[in-house]
Amino acid sequence: MSNLLIVESPAKAKTIEKYLGKDYKVLATLGHIIDLPKNKIAVDTEHEYKPEFIIMDGKKKIISSLKKSLPKKGEGEVLLAMDPDREGEAIAWHTMNALKLKNPKRVVFHEITKDAVVEAIKKPRHIDDNLVDAQIARRVLDRLVGYKLSQLLWKKMWYGLSAGRVQSVALKLVVERENEILAFVPKEFWEIKADCKTAKDSDFVAELVKINDKKAHIGNATSSDEVLKALEGKDLSVDTIAKKTVQMSAKPPFTTSTLQQSSNNILGYSTKRTMSLAQQLYQAGYITYMRTDSVNLAQQAIEQIREKIKADYGDKYLSAKTNYFKNKARLAQEAHEAIRPSHFDVSTEKVAKELGSQAAKLYDIIFKRALACQMSPQVVEKLEISLSTKGTDNKKYGFSAKADNLLFDGYSKVWGKKFKDSEDLKSLGEINEGEKVIVKKLIPTQKFTEPKSRYTEATLVKALEKYGVGRPSTYATIISTIIDRGYVTKEQKYLKPKDVGFTVTNFLQSNFNRLVDYTYTAKVEEDLDNIAEGKVKYLPFIDNQYKPLVSELESADKISKDQVLILGDSEEKCPECQSPMQVKLGRYGKFLTCSRFPECKGMKGLAGSESQPEIDLDKYVEVGKCEKCGSEMVMKTGRFGSFWACSAYPKCKNIVSAKLKEKCPKCGKPLVEKKGKWGKTFIGCSGYPKCKYIKKK
């Protein structure tokens, strides 16, 4: 007997085949084999929103190969073992239809270990039609919204832009945060600290926190000077000494979103990179399924963790009772278990040897987080001393000094930053209530309030989860899409919206506010969850989303292109007719255009534009007039470097590469500036690929 087990990934197939032996042949579909075509909307909006699925490019050979490998009737079974989520269920359903299988067995496991795979095969089920419907509903809705909105953006802005049901909401979050930062007005305030000395000559620092029993607020230098004058020559008296012991419990094991956040914060990995590495770890059998919003652990795993803690760290580091965690997600549905190592005897070194150092680093934090969740709490002693004095202005001034002391490191021995005891702890521990404290010096410090930070990938994932936008399996794609589309750029680790990101968001918010509303987006996700549970049907769900979209599209189509792309007026005059100029957004950034366009085609570059910085024209070979229409050629900067473009655009779309006056030392042709795959600029030969010279820095 020879059974056929089908998965998506060759790596996964290779791992599973080692476990099952000669009675099973394990093959892979290489991901999806059937999907909506890319070149049309492919959803029949007139006939119950039926999707027009096709076999994907390059997958006919795979389907043919799978068909040839099917066991003959009565000689074996076909098992579909795709990932344990909606997308995996849809792949299994498409595979069943493509191979014309009747009632194939669907097996599901959340870790690729021998025990898990063998146990899953013993408990097969049928394909879950509700899960399939939920995935198809998501795919169809995203296609309808994305296709229609993107087409409108091409019409109102330029070709190549995109919008989507979820990506546009994520972009809105980034843009709104940037608007908050731009609108933020810093407010001045002052801190006053007292450099103190105890009766036993110990030093510590106390901070002014209250004036006349109200929170101290010192708004400017004048107020600060008044306080300093009132406290001049005054010592402090110890009013109260408060000491308490605080226990800080371990964090739960990783979900998809918390793994992405920690990976970004600790390792500096992007969400896309994190999920790629996690996929490798899962397929190699090192971790459980990496798309999950559950914090539960299997009882067997908990027992393994607790045994390892006891063996490696001793009884005192093992929590007295088993730690169980509650799911924060309203509908934790992607998987039944948190992300954890499949085996706790696999070392980071072994993973590094097989999958490389980056995967090993990710495995290490998954391992430590899972281990720490069953460890004892961290115990910290907190000490707070309240001091006061009466100023020369008869006001009561209250000061506070605080110190922490780590009594027991607990789970932080494995997971957490090293705890630093306060330097003032020893000094504060010697003070008694009623004691007088000498003030050696008062230290005023001017400060200003600061705006919220821009989003990092980690904090954006947290925000998406908070608002219910997308699902764990989609966070990485959402963020990479808004970056790849050029709506957002990364400055160090922070996400900053570009001009086109602002414009697209403003356009969508003005005309499709429903679609970019956080509450609406979260409700759509809930409805998709309800389809998966059989509580909502596909047809009425799609109908309720699509019909309002049609009306919104008709209304937005009446808006002119200039209403979208003209960003404001400029004080500069047109070089052709002296009329006022306007700031306009183009494909390559902001520029100035005549307010009488199209009657007058005068335009100027805009110094300081994010996409059109000032260009040193002296280093480039001049091209003269446009060879197609005779108009002037102007220098512009695009995503792949500088180029000459016809000033008569959009009537004439002629462009010419910008060649440097510097010659190639190998072949003598002009050199050109280019941008590589990762956005870095380099200088190479214009004779590429015949000449592959690249200038070293």
Residue 79 — φ and ψ, nearest 5°?
-120, 135
Determine contact, residues 594/573, Cβ cutoff 8 Å: no
CA distance 108 to 13: 14
Residue 419 — φ and ψ, nearest 5°?
-85, 135
How many residues in total does the chain contain?
697
CA angle 141, 147, 151 (to 5 degrees): 150
Q: Choose among 606, 613, 239, 243: nearest CA to 407.
A: 243
Burial 59-79, CB ≥16 within 10 A → b, else e: beebbeebeeebeeeeebebb
First to last CA, the chain: 64
Angle between helices 475-484 and 457-467 (to 10 degrees): 120
Please tell me which residue in 24, 147, 286, 289 is annotated as part of the active site: 289
For residue 545, give both structure tokens: 């989303």
Bond from prior residue into 253 cis (ω within 30 degrees of 0): no
AA letter at 238: V
**289 assigned to active site:** yes
If one counts every other C-beta atom within 10 angstroms of the C-beta of residue 513, the result is: 11
Bond from prior residue into 613 cis (ω within 30 degrees of 0): no
Determine contact, residues 335/282, Cβ cutoff 8 Å: no
CA distance 261 to 255: 10
CA distance 271 to 261: 8
Determine contact, residues 643/670, Cβ cutoff 8 Å: no
Question: Which amino acids are annotated catalytic?
Answer: 289
